[in-house]
Amino acid sequence: MMKDNPFEGLMSFKEATDLWGLNESTLRKAVSYGKFEEGIDIKKFGKQWIITLEAMEREYGKLNDDQE
């Protein structure tokens, strides 16, 4: 039986901006403006930010099937 991937739905800011066609600075600014809740929507590991798929879809809309 396959276990659920604990990293399912998580992505780096680079991955997220590539998928949504945004600039990475857009996400960094959104963090500084308080659009995302740290520990729920986003988390920083060293210098790398991770964001949830749910947070991206909430702020920037759902991905089209051909984008995934």
The confidence score (pLDDT) of residue 3 equals 55
Q: Are 23 and 17 in contact (CB under 8 A)?
A: yes
Tens-place pLDDT, residues 3-43: 577 778 999 999 999 999 999 899 999 999 999 999 999 99
Model confidence band, residue 67 (pLDDT cutoffs 50, 70, 90): low
Tens-place pLDDT, residues 43-54: 999 999 999 999
Phi, psi (deg, nearest 5) at residue 64 = -75, 155
Mean pLDDT for the stretch of residues 51-68:
84
Domain borders along the chain are 10-60
Report residue 44 as tokens. Answer: 């920083």
pTM of the model: 0.82
